[in-house]
Structures are given as structure tokens and as C-alpha cells.
Structure 1
Amino acid sequence: MAAIDATDADSAIPAGCFSWRWREEQLVLLPDRGIWREASRDLLVADLHLGKAEVFQAFGIPVPSDEDRGTLQRLKQICITFNPDRLIILGDLIHGRQGLTPRLMHDLATLSERLGTNVLLVGGNHDRDLQMPVLPRTTAFRLGELWLSHEPEEGPDKAELLNVCGHIHPAVTLRHGADRLRLPCFAFDKLEQRMLIPAFGELTGGHDCGHRYRKWLVAEGTIVPWLTPEPQPKKRRQAR
């Protein structure tokens, strides 16, 4: 099996990013929670969950409706920065049927034009209610040595491919005394040959990654390599 190794970000990519190599694949981890693949000029993001606020509102949960504006503006800015030939969304572009307002439907219908690039959606479990022929959709597929999917899965040749996926919303909780801070992260599982992408959407939660993952935190506009401290065994109280 070919060695896996990571390299520090270099001057060819914007500040705050992190350049990482898996075999012959050079991937750039972005603080905007995406991955840039220069070889094909593809930009990979996952889990926008557009319309999630409206889904909550439909069930009587009062949340503001402007998160989609922030998500789409960040997506536009990252496309301006990298000028990709294609944006690949690894599932869960929308959150649910109740969130498909006329405004969101218009935003989706004009998404490629607004971003200035081709858009391809790898259908996720939340995208079943999205019926838009103008937005190309596919199932999981191979790109170079990558297997792109929404949920974690094995490609047709697991030993040769790195699975890049969303769905999990990986995060890390930092602890210092009574303080807690949860940050999204990229997470690499060496055993499964899998890279998890953090959720791109504004109104998304996160799931803590265990010790088996190598992690890169998304913090204050930069990518920070992170080694989760090993859990300390609880000290047994001595009988007195």
C-alpha cells in the first residue's frame, strides 16, 4: 500500500489553507469548509442543508431565515477565489421539502449562473424531495483516485481509492476546565481510507470524531492540524 503523507500549506494556495497529499492526489483543505482539487479544478463541498430554517419553522420552532444568505454568499466567494471548472456538492444540498420556498427554488435554478461554474450534485439522503432537472445530479462516482459520495461508502476498488464524503458533519470539542468550544473539522480515517468534509451550511450541527481520525480544525479563517489528546484515566480515590 502506498504511503499517506501530509504537507504544510505552500505559497501556491491562499493563506490559511492546508495542502494534503494522499498517494498521487493533492488536495487543499479550505477554511471555508471545502476541498480544492487543482488537478481537475474541482471544488468539493458537502451538506449545505439549505431551507433548514424553514423546515424548523414549519414544525413551530422559531429560528431566523437568513442563514441561507450567508451560506450562498460564502459559496459564491469561494468560487470567486478559486474559479473552479466545476462545483461538486457531496449531498444534502437542501434539508427538506418544507424548506423549498419559491425564493430557494429560484436560487437553486440559477445556482450555476450565480456561481459562474458548472454544478454537480451527488444526491444525499435529504435531497430526495428536490426535483430540479436544471441541476445535474449523480450517484457516487470516481474522480482520479477519489471515490466521491455523500454517505461514507466503499468504492468499487477500496484498496485503491480514497473515499471523500460528507453526511457525518465532523467536529471536535475543545475543553479547558469548564469551558467548551466545538469546531468543525476535516477528519481522515486511515483504516477506512476516508476523508470526511465538514458541513458547509450555516445552520448545521456537528458530531465529535473519535481518536481513530486524524483531524484538521476549521478555526478563525485557517486550518489547524489537530491531535486529540488521549483520554486520561480517572484517578481512583484512596480509602481513608
Structure 2
Amino acid sequence: MDNMAAGHRVDLLQGEPLVLLERAVYVPAHKALLLSDVHLGKAETFQMAGIPIAQQVNEETLERLRSQCDQVQPQQIFILGDLFHSRQGLVEDVITAWSTFLSDTSAQVTLIIGNHDRAALDPVFDMDYSSDPISLGKLLLSHEPASSDLLPKNHLNICGHVHPVVHLQGAIDSLRFPCFYHEHEPQRLTLPSFGSFTGGHEVSIGTGRTAYITLEGGLMVLDSPPKED
């Protein structure tokens, strides 16, 4: 299978081509799938607070992950934080769904512990955990954006936490899209939240700041503020 054909190739760092998928990144050189901010159990957390949210958001999220694993056949999966939303949301159905994914995949799964995960790591699942950023070739993987002093020259920080989105204004209304957000100095790529029910933070686009939006028809690249119609 041509793993490059599964998504959209971008070259943000010489020698480390990336393939942008729907809300995730594949790194062919390391056979690694990267994603962040899955927030499993968020719907259940809201339900406990009396807010009616459909539970199928977890299945929708995990089906996307399974589909991408089928596409690119990763040997490694790195989750860059916030796999779970809260301890309250770790109900039996959520635990079973994630345990089933882990048992079904042949990839080695590593979770970089995010701020939401710190309160939701009981039970411990059959995967690796890291409290610190992880180096993968010239990539530095972290949950929150890494400080510039931690990033060696000619390296790229790939992180999550922010849930970047952009608004595009049409003739009638505006649409909000999750995006990959590339800051050129320091070199950083912030991943969109992988979960289907996560919210988002609008990011600014301009000199040294580029947004990539994956669409069914191709890849949209925004390196200047969108014009309003």
C-alpha cells in the first residue's frame, strides 16, 4: 500500500515528510501515526452533568482511528495527550471500547500524558505512557507546545492541546474547520483535536503562520487571513 496516497504530503522539515490525514499525521520514515486530544468519555461527563449528548461520538472517533490504521498500517501510534476527558467519563463502555482497540491493533501505542489524562489514568491500559516530550528523528512530540529552548535547531515540534480551528466566511454563513496549524518560528505543527466532540480555538493566520485543512477534495492551505465575501 502506498501510505503517501492515503493523505496529503507536506514538507515542513527537510528529510521528514509528513502525510496529513483527517485530524492526524502519518510519518512514513518512522511508520508512525500521530494524533492528539481524543477526549474519550467527554459525552459521558456531560451526561452526568445533565447535558444530553449522544454517546456515539466515541464510536465515531474510534472508527476514524481504525480506518486510518487500515489505510497507513502504522507500526507506532503516538497520542499527544488528552486521550481521555475526565475520570468521571471513564465508564465501562469507554474502558471497553479503548481496551478493544488496543487488543485489535498491532501497533505499539504510546500516550504522552496530557492535562486531562492526569486525572483519568485509572485503570492503566496496556500501552506505554510518557510524562515528557518524545523525540522521533527530527520531531519533538509533546502535548502542550514545547518551549523554544527544548527544540533543537532544524527540528519540528508536533503538539496538541490547542484544538486549532479556522473560520471561513461564505456568502450566507461561516463554517469552522479543524486545522493543522504551522508556526514557522519556532518550527511547530499543532494538530487538530482528533475527537469528534472537543470544541476548538480559533488561530490567527499570516506571516509565518499557516493553516492546513484536509477536505474530501484535497488540501486547503491558508497562509493569509481568509477574505470575507
TM-score, normalised by the number of residues in structure 1: 0.85
Tell me the residue number matched to 1:140. 133
Tell me if structure 2 keeps the 8 A contact 1:174–1:181: yes
Aligned-residue offset at 1:172: 0.7
Tell me if structure 2 keeps the 8 A contact 1:184–1:198: yes
* Matched letter for residue 197 of structure 2: L
CA distance in 1, matches of 2:214, 2:181: 11
* Matched letter for residue 78 of structure 2: I
CA 159–223 in structure 1, closer or farther in 2 if over 3 Å, else same: same
CA 221–160 in structure 1, closer or farther in 2 if over 3 Å, else same: same
2:203 to 196, 209, 213: 209
Aligned-residue offset at 1:157: 3.9
Aligned-residue offset at 1:135: 2.3
1:225 to 211, 218, 221: 221
Matched, 1:79 2:85: no
Tell me the residue number matched to 1:22. 13
Tell me the residue number matched to 1:89. 79
* Matched letter for residue 153 of structure 2: A
Tell me the residue number matched to 1:149. 142
Aligned-residue offset at 1:160: 3.5
Tell me the residue number matched to 2:179. 185
Aligned-residue offset at 1:12: 6.4
Per-residue Cα deviation, 1:47-91 (whole angstroms, up to 9, x for no partner) = 110011001111111111110000001100100111100111111
CA distance in 2, matches of 1:230, 1:174: 6
Tell me if structure 2 keeps the 8 A contact 1:76–1:114: no
Deviates more, 1:105-114 or 1:132-141: 105-114
Tell me if structure 2 keeps the 8 A contact 1:20–1:27: yes
Structure 2: tracts of 5 or more residues without a match: none
Aligned-residue offset at 1:141: 1.3
- Greater helix percent: which structure? 2
1:45 to 31, 35, 41: 35
Number of aligned residues: 221
Per-residue Cα deviation, 1:206-231 (whole angstroms, up to 9, x for no partner) = 11111242111123364221233377
| Max Rg structure | 1
Aligned-residue offset at 1:189: 0.4
Tell me the residue number matched to 2:58. 68
CA distance in 2, matches of 1:29, 1:94: 23
Matched, 1:100 2:93: no
CA 230–116 in structure 1, closer or farther in 2 if over 3 Å, else same: closer
Percent sequence identity is 38
Tell me if structure 2 keeps the 8 A contact 1:15–1:222: no
Tell me the residue number matched to 2:170. 176
SS in 1 for 2:82: coil
Tell me if structure 2 keeps the 8 A contact 1:183–1:218: no
CA distance in 1, matches of 2:155, 2:191: 16
Deviates more, 1:66-75 or 1:208-217: 208-217
Structure 1: tracts of 5 or more residues without a match: 1-10, 233-240
Tell me if structure 2 keeps the 8 A contact 1:51–1:104: yes
CA distance in 1, matches of 2:25, 2:107: 16
Matched, 1:111 2:101: yes
SS in 1 for 2:29: coil
Tell me if structure 2 keeps the 8 A contact 1:92–1:127: yes
